[in-house]
Chain A
Amino acid sequence: MKKAALFMACALAVTALAGCSSSSSTAETTAAAGGATEAAGGSEGGEVNMIMTWWGNQVRNERTQQALDLYAEQNPGVHIEGQFSEWSDYWNKLATSAAGQAMPDLLQMDYMYVDQYVKSGLLLDLTPYIEDGTLDTSNISENTMASGTVDGGVYAICAGINSPALLYNKTLTDSLGIEIKDNMTMDEFFALSKQIYEQSGVKTNVAYGIGESWSAYFVRGLGFSCFTEDGTGMGGSAEEWVPFFEVYTKGLEEGWLIDPGVFAEISVGSVEQEPLVYGSTPETQSWCAFYNSNQLGAMQNAAPEGMEIGITTWPSYDPVKSNYLKSSQFFSVGATTAYPEEAVKVLDFLTNSSDANNILLGERGVPANSVIAEEITPQLSEQDQEVTRFINEVVTPNCSPIDPPQPDGSNEVYDLLNRTVEQVCYGQLDAQTAANTFYEGAVEIMSAK
């Protein structure tokens, strides 16, 4: 009896202890971490504790934290805790925190989500801070600012400019004596893919499984937007979507489209496993990959020895109408932050300070502030300089303003799109049926929102 009682007591004691030990060591964190809402009560006078969250890899974590530390050093009393997660984890965590009304003070945002977060009232409107000069945007182009603007309010500041970019196996095309020119049209692209396939057996991957930006880009070239201006419905008509699926049926017919089975063996959308650099035989290789300009360096690193990666624009029926500059990601301020003023100052620091950008070195893309961008260019790697040149000389003169941020429901629509393309590639649907199925499904999804 005694033994048992003792044992029970032990168990309970351990419980209590566990509770205590973790609570004492985490007391401060709880206050800081719940962000905004909880910190508000505590420290009015001097100390400012803020949380900034982002996704990214080792390099980004390192550099961003360094920049934040520098800010804290220059502004005594301000402490910014950096929290980093992996991409999909990041959005899970952010959504969950949003459900608990505990948004971080500062956060990294994506074009894909900004609209939903703004419409749910989770991001702070930066317009007043821009007007009173706390946040200086004078060196940021109008197009770039527009991409973070929803319903007239500025909610997100560009953290780095990039653009869609066709990364290709330059070693292969050079050896075949093919010259890839920028702003190519769809017909040129078809001819090229066919020629490369006939001469080398290497196939073409047309954004399989990652059709989000590609479809939007493609239909812009046909003269309409994927979604309507107000974000409540689908743009175009079923008939107008047919050419999009015809790219794949044409590729199947002519043989240059990569076998969809290949994608079951890789992580789709992962640079390291992209058929451009990963495939071991011509049938599992692609001569190009539909990516973004800021991924050139990563793709080159992932490429086997002796393969040079080139960069050009995505093909389109109307390249100038299709192409656009976008933000690789944004910085935003959480609507519930206790220190809006302070948070915006940090944003200003990350955007306009040359000290900060000398640490960040355009890791997120070409800096939005054109003066800063110019300033850091000499310090960039060869590939990043090439990217800057590509953005400035190739895309900027030949592009149109980007579509409004993707509306609620777009994720589901794009999932449907990718699944429809999959069926087309497996030869189960022709372009006409695919367009009909997709368009009907997409309209239904959008109307349910």
Chain B
Amino acid sequence: MNKKKNLTFKQFLDQEHIAGYIFSLPFTIGFLMFMIVPMGISLYYSFCDYNILTPAVFSGADNYVKMFTDDPTFWQTIGVTFYFALVSVPLRLIFALIVALILLKTTKATGFYRAAYYLPSIIGGSVAVAVLWRRMWATDGVINHLLGAIGIETSFAWLGNTKTAIWMLIILAVWQFGSSMLVFLSSLKQIPASLYEAATVDGANKWQQFWKVTLPLLTPTIFFNLVMQMINGFLAFTQCYIITQGRPMNSTLFYTVYMYQQSFEFYNTGYGAALAWVMLAIISLITLVLFATKKFWVYDGGF
């Protein structure tokens, strides 16, 4: 129609903030429609006496009070979860980064190597992994046989010992570093080749290139992986659920598994919801701290 009017509409749309609203509209709708209501309901449940089968009854802060004053298992699972997350996440990231650097250079076999290193993440939570992992670390399993072969005769029960069992889950988590590796791989390639050329011209060797070019430019991705993996680490569920179920003596009982037991096995669903919200508080605090450190070590970032 009218050319001028059309133009102003276009101009209206092309304002930075309007464009921003339009681009982020799907998420805004999605969040309001699919997240906010369920989150709200679960927050309400956390203040209720609720057993799934009968309607929830408001009970004030009872669940939270019980958690902090009268539930030793709660504290134990907090300890286990912190230990697991704080050990496995850094290890996992370091592995992922090293392997990504190694597999960056393209040879004919690289595709298959990458697939091989990524595979463990694909089969992640299957029953087969559970069976196999227990088999490997069994008293008469592969690991003890290997130790025997190098002269350390042992029939140590790796999974049956309260001190070592958690490490079997940590190793499993580290072994599944594939997804972080992928993210590293794809952003390593985003680093402009011209920067490396410039560095070579300046006489920097490979090692210096890594420290001066690669690592700084990779810090946003490291930060991204760190935040994501921290969240995942604290919310880890599968490893414990399929392999140890918390055995022996709750030494490997993850927070989320405990929450799940409370919600769906003991039908203390209100209490389970309260546990979840406390975990949300813990994770958001940790994330907040991470974001606060960002300006000290992350190279140029948007948020």
Contact = CB atoms under 8 A, between A and B. Distances in A.
* Chains A and B in contact, CB within 8 Å: yes
Interface of A: 1, 11, 91-92, 95-96, 98-99, 116-117, 120, 122, 209, 259-268, 280-281, 284, 408-409, 411-412, 415, 419, 422-423, 426, 428
Contacts of A422: 247-249
Given A408-B51, A422-B247, A426-B248, A95 B264 contact: yes
A116 B266 CA distance: 11
22 contacts: A95-B53, A95-B264, A95-B267, A262-B160, A263-B248, A264-B159, A264-B160, A264-B244, A265-B134, A265-B157, A266-B134, A267-B130, A268-B245, A284-B139, A408-B51, A409-B266, A411-B266, A412-B268, A415-B261, A422-B247, A422-B248, A426-B162
B28 interface: no
Given A116-B51, A265-B139, 12 more contacts: A95-B264, A96-B52, A99-B52, A116-B53, A120-B51, A261-B248, A264-B134, A265-B160, A411-B266, A415-B265, A426-B249, A428-B249
A435 to B, nearest CB: 18
B165 interface: yes
Nearest to A272: B131
Summarize B's interface: helix, strand, loop or mixed: loop
A412 B266 contact: yes
4 closest A-B pairs by CB: A261-B160, A261-B157, A120-B53, A264-B159
B160 A259 contact: yes
B267 to A, nearest CB: 7
Contact of A259 (B140, B157, B264, B267): B157
A259 B140 CA distance: 14
Interface in B132-152: 134-135, 137-141
B111 to A, nearest CB: 30
Contacts of A411: 265-267
B250 interface: yes
B158 to A, nearest CB: 8
Contacts of A261: 139, 157, 159-161, 248
B54 interface: yes
B5 interface: no
B10 interface: yes
Given A99-B52, A265-B135, A1 B159 contact: no
A115 B173 CA distance: 40
A99 B53 contact: yes
A192 B197 CA distance: 79
Contacts of A116: 51, 53, 267
A266 B10 CA distance: 65
A47 B162 CA distance: 59
Contacts of B165: 264
Contacts of A95: 52-53, 264, 267
Nearest to A410: B266
A265 B159 contact: yes
Contacts of A280: 140
B266 A91 contact: no
Contacts of A92: 264
A114 to B, nearest CB: 12
A443 to B, nearest CB: 14
Contact of B247 (A99, A263, A281, A412): A263
Contacts of A409: 266
Summarize A's interface: helix, strand, loop or mixed: helix
A120 B54 CA distance: 6
Contacts of B157: 259, 261-262, 264-265
Interface string B159-172: 11110010000000
A344 to B, nearest CB: 22
A425 to B, nearest CB: 9
Nearest to B141: A265
Contacts of A267: 130-131
* Residue among A264, A280, A284, A415 facing the most chain B CB atoms (10 A cut-off): A264
A281 B244 contact: no
A122 B165 CA distance: 41
Contacts of B248: 260-261, 263-264, 422, 426
A421 B292 CA distance: 47
A86 to B, nearest CB: 10
A388 to B, nearest CB: 32
A415 B249 contact: no
A122 B53 contact: yes
Contacts of B141: 265
A261 B265 CA distance: 24
Interface in B257-279: 261, 264-268
A291 to B, nearest CB: 19
A284 B54 CA distance: 44
Contacts of B51: 116, 120, 408
B52 A260 contact: no
Contacts of B53: 95, 98-99, 116-117, 120, 122
B32 to A, nearest CB: 16
B139 to A, nearest CB: 7
Contacts of A284: 139-140
Nearest to A12: B26
Contacts of A91: 264
Contacts of A259: 157, 160
Contacts of A263: 160, 247-248
Given A95-B264, A415-B261, A422-B249, A260 B130 contact: no
Contacts of A120: 51, 53-54
* Residue among A117, A265, A284, A415 facing the most chain B CB atoms (10 A cut-off): A265
B250 A419 contact: yes
B283 to A, nearest CB: 24
* Residue among B162, B245, B266 facing the most chain A CB atoms (10 A cut-off): B266
A2 to B, nearest CB: 11
A186 to B, nearest CB: 26
A243 B214 CA distance: 67
Nearest to A95: B52
A426 B249 CA distance: 9
B244 to A, nearest CB: 7
A263 B247 CA distance: 8
Nearest to B135: A265
B147 to A, nearest CB: 16
B267 A1 contact: no
A11 B23 CA distance: 12
Interface in B98-149: 130-131, 134-135, 137-141
